[in-house]
Amino acid sequence: MNKQIDVIDTTLRDGEQAPGIAFTASEKLAIAKALDKAGVPWIEAGTPAMGAEEQQALRRILGAGLKARIFSWNRASSKDIAASVACGFTTVHISIPVSDLHLRYKLGKDRTWALKELADTAQTAIDLGCEVSIGAEDASRATPEQFLELAQLAADLGALRIRYADTVGCLDPFDVHDIFTHIMPRTPLPVEFHGHNDFGMALANSLAACSAGASSVSVTVGGIGERAGNAALEEFVAAAHSVCQIETGISLAACEGLGELTARASNRPIFPYKPILGSRNKLQDAHQKNSRLDALAIQPVLDRMMI
């Protein structure tokens, strides 16, 4: 049987953070419903600490009766957790920088302070009845030991998993494979890979992490996100299935509708050569878009006339 990977969609959080992208509450709800319908098991829906309007939008998603687990993004601050809990979240993601660079220049604090802050915040969330996942921001510019120290703490706190974030997309697939081969046997928790596309390798890096033991990946529809964006949901679903024999349980056919919905809500056209979604790079026909079909069935169009 093929390996199964949990897809965590962050279109509504990291995706929307792309400059100029601003979803309305109704659009956020529509995207969340479409993600759920496509079979995405985890949805990172937003940041309640942003304020009342965002909280209102998040309440609507939480109240929509979706099968997917909906969770919020939080800094390591009890104020953020209070905002999440007030919205009705029972699963929260808490992010903390793990590289020296981020600790020193962004927070101006030392590692001991950061770990304590994280532990206190996570404990607050747990005491309020939440399940937590922990995010290691800028893990790719930290040492494996620095990541593992946070992973151990997260496990001790009873976290669901830990996110390894390649915050500026500075890894290549060989690096990712080596790093995950090294850290996976030493990590007491399931690990999620969160890639960015600054050099066009977010998807390849996500797959490399899975092949070396990561159990989940975070993606966005169409790869929208800060700077050059994130790994794209539809590309991950198609490539995992057809190239890497990894299953996601997500319908590729549904991803196409999601792509159009998100592009409209983002007010951004889809580049014609974008894999899967682009008009010049689409898969062959509706029948073949179902990712559950045989791998051969989602061969790309071999349209020799490119004009």
Q: Which is nearer to another protein, 48 or 173 (CB)?
A: 173
The DSSP symbol for 48 reads G
Residue 58 beta carbon to another protein: minimum distance, rounded to whole angstroms: 14
Amino acid at residue number 168: V
CB of 225 to another protein, least distance (A): 8
Handedness of CA 225, 42, 27, 12 (dihedral sign): negative
C-alpha to C-alpha distances, 51 to 144, 280, 306, nearest whole angstrom: 35, 40, 48
Six-digit token string for 169: 């997309």
**In this chain, which of 143, 279, 290, 299 binds another protein, going by CB under 8 A?**
299
Residue placing its CB nearer to another protein in the complex, 87 or 252: 252
The only residue of 6, 9, 16, 36 in contact with another protein, by rule CB under 8 A: 16
Residue type, 212: A
77 binds another protein (CB under 8 A): no
Which residue, 133 or 197, is less far from another protein as judged by CB?
A: 197
Q: Which amino acid is at 255?
A: C
Is residue 121 a contact partner of residue 78, using CB atoms and an 8 Å limit?
yes
CB of 205 to another protein, least distance (A): 8
Give the Cα-Cα-Cα angle 62, 68, 73 (nearest 5 degrees).
60
Q: Which of residues 247-276 bind another protein (CB under 8 A)?
A: 265-269, 271-276
Q: Could you identify the residue written with the tokens 């020799």?
A: 304
Asked whether position 307 contacts another protein by CB under 8 A, the answer is yes
Residue span 102-141 as binding mask against another protein, x where in contact by CB under 8 A, dash where not: x--xx-------------------------------x---
Residues 26-65 that bind another protein (CB under 8 A): 50-51, 53
d(CA 112, CA 28): 37
Nearest Cα residue to 202 out of 241, 176, 163: 176
Which of residues 68 and 176 has its CB atom nearest to another protein in the complex? 176
Q: Is 194 in the site for another protein (CB under 8 A)?
A: no
Smaller CB distance to another protein: residue 120 or 172?
Answer: 172
DSSP H/E element including 116: helix 111-127
